[in-house]
Amino acid sequence: MGFFDRIANVWRGFLSLWVSDLEARNPEAVYEAAIDERVRKHRDLKKAVSGIVYLRNKISNELEQYERELREVMNQLPIAIQEGEDEVALVLIQKKDELTGQIETLSAELTKVSDQAEEAKSGLLEFQSEIEKLKREKEEMLAKKANAEARISIQETLDGLSTDADIKALDNVREQINKTQAEADIGSEIQGDSLDAKLKKIRAKAADSSARNQLDEMKRQMAARSAASEGAGVKKTI
pLDDT tens string 7-54: 545 435 444 444 455 445 677 788 888 888 888 888 888 888 888 889
- Taking the domains of the chain in order of start, what are their residue ranges? 3-161, 168-237
**230 has a pLDDT exceeding 80:** no
Fold of 3-161: Helix Hairpins (1.10.287)
pLDDT in tens, 122-131: 888 888 888 8
Q: What is the pTM of this model?
A: 0.47
Q: What mean pLDDT value characterizes the chain?
A: 77
What are the DSSP calls for 4-63, one per residue? HHHHHHHHHHHHHHHHHHHHHH-HHHHHHHHHHHHHHHHHHHHHHHHHHHHHHHHHHHHH
Output 212 or 95, whichever has higher pLDDT.
95
Output 63 or 12, whichever has higher pLDDT.
63
